[in-house]
Amino acid sequence: MSACETSRVDFAGQNGRPRILIVGAGFAGLSAAKHLAKADVEITIVDRRNFHLFQPLLYQVATAALNPSDIAYPIRSIFRKQRNVASILLAEVVGVDCQGRTVQLEDGECLGYEYLIVAAGATHSYFGHDEWRKHAPGLKTVEDALDMRRRIFDAYEQAERYPDLASEYLNFVVVGAGPTGVELAGAMVEIAVHALRQEFDRIDPGQAHVTLVEASSRVLAAYTEPLGKSARRQLEELGVEVRTDTLVTEISERSVVFDDGSTLPTRTVFWAAGVQAADLMQELGSDRDRVGRVVVQPDLSLDGHPEVFVIGDAASVTSQGKPVPGTAPAAMQQGRHAAEQILADLSAKPRNSFRYRDKGSLATIGRARAVAQLPRLHFSGVAAWLAWLFVHVFFLIGFRNRTFVILSWAWNYITFRRGARIITKVGSGREK
Amino acid sequence: MSACETSRVDFAGQNGRPRILIVGAGFAGLSAAKHLAKADVEITIVDRRNFHLFQPLLYQVATAALNPSDIAYPIRSIFRKQRNVASILLAEVVGVDCQGRTVQLEDGECLGYEYLIVAAGATHSYFGHDEWRKHAPGLKTVEDALDMRRRIFDAYEQAERYPDLASEYLNFVVVGAGPTGVELAGAMVEIAVHALRQEFDRIDPGQAHVTLVEASSRVLAAYTEPLGKSARRQLEELGVEVRTDTLVTEISERSVVFDDGSTLPTRTVFWAAGVQAADLMQELGSDRDRVGRVVVQPDLSLDGHPEVFVIGDAASVTSQGKPVPGTAPAAMQQGRHAAEQILADLSAKPRNSFRYRDKGSLATIGRARAVAQLPRLHFSGVAAWLAWLFVHVFFLIGFRNRTFVILSWAWNYITFRRGARIITKVGSGREK
């Protein structure tokens, strides 16, 4: 990082206003920037992508219900009218020098700051089996979603071409029964049973078999036990085979092996089992937990560096003694909290500890199937599904995106079909 | 191809009905299959893609106005109810044995036929300069369109990051002033002037400069001279620099060189200058024209092989002594004609010569700007643009696609913005 000392470039103006550098425009970074809208500061936002992605609906892109641009919104458009956003850069941060108060971009350029907000998010964790990545992609980026979509629909095409291998191609496996795994498994059954009905000549898509594998004893472990059981029952009613207490010990191109020694022949495995913090967290020189998240102070700043905040999925945060979940609402609350601490500093007021307010959780399973865990009310089925629809549309950014998502859902609901069922070739989400 | 003689696989049933094999589900192949809907035959359709693509609107995907799935429709869905379509295969045809009446797929499998309809389309031609392909992509596939979209919007991002190079990044060049080149150039100016307005801090997107280069002396050479002049005037009013009588002699990563010796620094060049027939045409053993299209008999069949038809952009067809253009309406008419010749054979009636009926041409230039050349009426401006909108929506397949295209256009028109402005990484359209 020493290169930065001599060639420091100050993007924000030199007019004495504090420069706030936000790394990542996910839910956490966006929320921080918005809550600083009226502050007398100069904000720079750096992201590897030109858009904010509404990740909770990414599985719907993977299952051809929505288009990528329905759930993505250009970062520049979001801040078009926020005047203290001095610069938005499509770039990757590769290093942080907390002593020198600079970050380094992938092309060597350095940005100075008075405040740094790191909201770089998370990626998949294969628990030491990175060789599985190739056969069992996860779902974090638009490219991941398009890759999944290609794999799902291509499996049916290959089964049609090679009926001898149909049983292999029509076995789908999802590893991990958290919200993403549950949503993916449910949607994949609906594709088999409804969307592809009557369209193949040599195979019956309805014969496809979706297996949801979970290492723990429960589906949706973050929910109450009755809701987890309800989710499991709803999945099984759809036709998903749920295998709890089951570990995956091997994933290859043509099969998955479980810890009971059994082998499931399959060409399509998706990974929804584990996440780890972005690699950038290693650059901060702070304590990290076992999944790489930076352990932050109660006010979300770094130990010894009150001017650096780490928020969102990249941070290990506790509130009232309990770990804060890696969800969009928690990330937004953390973004707001970091912004408020900076505003407190600027008006010479004391800082506060972050306190997570759990407003509830919703997970959808399929058509008119979901579970809802609100602070005082737990329910499932159609009501939970309607709540889920409403909340997700409400939090989407932009009138156009909301309109198109509502229309797509209405069309899907009425016709049982999927509007984005095209197989395209996608670049890897990992390379530049 | 000799491998096929011994390992011939008959996909369609063995019940004595003639097997009709259609290669390619573009406008020509689709039209042939549909006009055979009531025939007592068994149809097999082979395409490298699982969808039919409405190519006339592909430039709108490239310029972020539409999503790929808005203009793509699954081939299986199109033929769900056509009972004589016995098989649809996602596969690539690599060889044709007209003597043995078989085609070979990329995995070595062979398909027999009684009638073969080859509608494999065309690809770009760089006139012997294939090294230009890397720097100047063309627009034939969904991946091409997403690659163009990425290049357009990334150029502005790079200009923002490296203002010293802004003039290079903000120069856009389109080679070829046919309909695709004209549409691309017009849309690119609208992106610069409207869609990105007020979104950058260090550059002014309105400073972007779009140059349309054409080797001949005219814009839209297939239209009448007054309409070509009108198109040129409309382009220039938008701000496009039109350079006719200009040949490109070199394209590199950072510049284009013209035949007058001048060099234009640019990072973004698009190719809309030439097409050539699909490589598969070399396998047919027939005469081909200088762009590789197979020269067909008046009934669109191959000389010496009345059971083989070549139609669409892969065929060199004349009607009443004049060459038939490579447009969607011409391809659809040829598909219908090939189907009718097969129906005539089956009922022991004589065949007819193909006769092209020119129902008119429309080309759009931008917001409320277009030209229309109908058989007895030529006009331009708003009326032509409305006619263009209507015709394109009318010929789109599927209620959902029509609805979403109309809504996207309405949103674009009202807000001046582009709904699909996300930069994603795309695989090459050329590799498997």
Question: How much is the average pLDDT of A204-229?
Answer: 96
> Which of A70, A411, A423 minimises the CB distance to B50?
A423
Alpha-carbon dihedral A362, A365, A366, A369, rounded to 10 degrees:
-70
Tokens coding A133: 């990545």
Tokens coding A426: 């996608």
Is residue A183 part of the annotated active site? The answer reads: yes
Residue A427 is predicted with a pLDDT of 62
Across the interface, whether the CB atoms of A424 and B425 are under 8 A apart is answered: no
Whose CA is closest to B306, among B354, B351, B355, B348? B351
Total residue count of chain A as it appears in this document: 432
Instruction: Give yes or no for residue B68 having a pLDDT over 90.
Output: yes
Residue B431 is predicted with a pLDDT of 34
For residue A229, give the amino acid letter.
K
Residue A15 is predicted with a pLDDT of 67
Whose CA is closest to B64, among B425, B431, B408? B408
User: What are the chain B neighbours of A91 within 8 Å (beta carbons)?
Assistant: 161
Residue B425 is predicted with a pLDDT of 79
Determine which of B50, B158, B426 to mutate to test the interface with A (most A C-beta atoms within 10 Å).
Answer: B50
> Which of A88, A161, A196 minimises the CB distance to B89?
A161
Question: How much is the average pLDDT of B302-311?
Answer: 97
Size of interface A-B (CB pairs under 8 A): 141
Instruction: Give yes or no for residue B8 having a pLDDT over 60.
Output: no
> Which of A77, A422, A431 minimises the CB distance to B50?
A422
Question: How much is the average pLDDT of A362-374?
Answer: 95
d(CA A300, CA A310): 6
Q: How far is A345 from chain B (nearest CA, A)?
A: 27
Q: How far is A285 from chain B (nearest CA, A)?
A: 28
Instruction: Give yes or no for residue B174 having a pLDDT over 60.
Output: yes
Across the interface, whether the CB atoms of B72 and A157 are under 8 A apart is answered: no
Whose CA is closest to B93, among B123, B74, B117? B117
d(CA A73, CA B64): 12
Question: How much is the average pLDDT of B124-142?
Answer: 94
Decide: B44 and B111 in contact? Cβ < 8 Å.
yes
Per-residue model confidence as pLDDT tens digits over A76-135: 999 999 999 999 999 999 999 999 999 999 999 999 999 999 999 999 999 999 999 999
Q: How far is A214 from chain B (nearest CA, A)?
A: 32
Q: How many C-beta atoms surround the C-beta of residue B262 within 10 A?
A: 10
> Which of A143, A158, A202 minimises the CB distance to B424?
A143
Per-residue model confidence as pLDDT tens digits over B258-297: 999 999 999 999 999 989 999 999 999 999 999 999 999 9
Q: How far is B427 from chain A (nearest CA, A)?
A: 4
Across the interface, whether the CB atoms of B69 and A400 are under 8 A apart is answered: no
Across the interface, whether the CB atoms of B143 and A425 are under 8 A apart is answered: yes
Q: How far is A79 from chain B (nearest CA, A)?
A: 8
Q: Which residues contact B90 (CB under 8 A, 6 or more apart)?
A: A154, A157, A158, A160, A161, A423, B47, B48, B49, B50
d(CA A382, CA A379): 9
Instruction: Give yes or no for residue B6 having a pLDDT over 90.
Output: no
Tokens coding B290: 């200088």
Per-residue model confidence as pLDDT tens digits over A291-322: 999 999 999 999 999 999 999 999 999 999 99
Question: How much is the average pLDDT of B19-46?
Answer: 97
Residue A274 is predicted with a pLDDT of 87
Using CA coordinates, name the residue in chain B closest to A105. B161
Across the interface, whether the CB atoms of B157 and A69 are under 8 A apart is answered: no
Residues facing residue B373 across a β-bridge? B361, B378
Instruction: Give yes or no for residue A11 having a pLDDT over 80.
Output: no
Instruction: Give yes or no for residue B9 having a pLDDT over 50.
Output: no
**Residue-wise DSSP of B57-76:** GHHHHHTTSS-GGGSEEEHH
Relative to beta strand B241-243, strand B209-213 is: parallel
Question: How much is the average pLDDT of A41-60?
Answer: 96
> Which of A87, A404, A422 minimises the CB distance to B72?
A422
Across the interface, whether the CB atoms of A420 and B77 are under 8 A apart is answered: no
d(CA A129, CA A257): 14
d(CA A125, CA A274): 5
For residue A235, give the amino acid letter.
L
Determine which of B76, B80, B152, B402 to mutate to test the interface with A (most A C-beta atoms within 10 Å).
Answer: B76
Residue A142 is predicted with a pLDDT of 95
d(CA A80, CA B241): 29
Question: How much is the average pLDDT of A406-427?
Answer: 87
Per-residue model confidence as pLDDT tens digits over B214-249: 999 999 999 999 999 999 999 999 999 999 999 999
| Average model confidence (pLDDT) across chain A | 93
Task: Give the DSSP H or E segment for B316.
Answer: strand B315-316
Tokens coding A135: 């056969």
Residues facing residue B22 across a β-bridge? B45, B117
| Average model confidence (pLDDT) across chain B | 93
> Which of A143, A400, A428 minimises the CB distance to B419?
A400
Residues facing residue A10 across a β-bridge? none
State the residue for tokens 């807000």. Answer: B415
Residue B427 is predicted with a pLDDT of 62
d(CA B350, CA A280): 74
Catalytic one of A42, A183, A214, A340: A183
Across the interface, whether the CB atoms of A50 and B421 are under 8 A apart is answered: yes
Instruction: Give yes or no for residue A12 having a pLDDT over 90.
Output: no
Active site residues of B: 183
Tokens coding A243: 């295998």
Across the interface, whether the CB atoms of B407 and A407 are under 8 A apart is answered: yes
Instruction: Give yes or no for residue B430 having a pLDDT over 50.
Output: no
User: What are the chain A neighbours of B417 within 8 Å (beta carbons)?
Assistant: 77, 400
Across the interface, whether the CB atoms of A419 and B400 are under 8 A apart is answered: yes
**Residue-wise DSSP of B267-306:** SEEEE-S-EEE-GGGGGG-S-B-TTSPEE--TTSEETTEE
Per-residue model confidence as pLDDT tens digits over B376-425: 999 999 999 999 999 999 999 988 999 999 999 999 999 888 988 999 87
User: What are the chain A neighbours of B154 within 8 Å (beta carbons)?
Assistant: 90
Residue B15: pLDDT band (50, 70, 90) is low
> Which of B51, B87, B91 minimises the CB distance to A201?
B87
Predicted TM-score (pTM) of the model is 0.92
CA dihedral sign, ordered B190, B191, B195, B196: negative
Decide: A101 and A91 in contact? Cβ < 8 Å.
no
CA A249 to each of CA A168, A257, A260, A262, B300: distance values in angstroms, whole numbers, following the listed order = 19, 6, 9, 10, 59
d(CA A207, CA A197): 11
Higher-scoring residue by pLDDT: B312, B417: B312
Phi first, then psi: give them for residue A87, nearest 5 degrees.
-160, 140
Across the interface, whether the CB atoms of B160 and A50 are under 8 A apart is answered: no
Across the interface, whether the CB atoms of A200 and B76 are under 8 A apart is answered: yes
Instruction: Give yes or no for residue A337 having a pLDDT over 70.
Output: yes
Whose CA is closest to A397, among A315, A342, A328, A311? A328
Per-residue model confidence as pLDDT tens digits over A15-33: 689 999 999 999 999 999 9
Determine which of A60, A63, A109, A201 to mutate to test the interface with B (most B C-beta atoms within 10 Å).
Answer: A201
Q: How far is B412 from chain A (nearest CA, A)?
A: 10
Instruction: Give yes or no for residue B96 having a pLDDT over 80.
Output: yes
Question: How much is the average pLDDT of B101-113?
Answer: 96
Across the interface, whether the CB atoms of B157 and A50 are under 8 A apart is answered: yes
For residue B46, give the amino acid letter.
V
- With H, G, I as helix, E, B as strand and everything else as coil, classify residue B3: helix
Residue A419 is predicted with a pLDDT of 86
Instruction: Give yes or no for residue A236 having a pLDDT over 80.
Output: yes
Residue A3 is predicted with a pLDDT of 53
Higher-scoring residue by pLDDT: B134, A14: B134
Using CA coordinates, name the residue in chain B closest to A406. B404
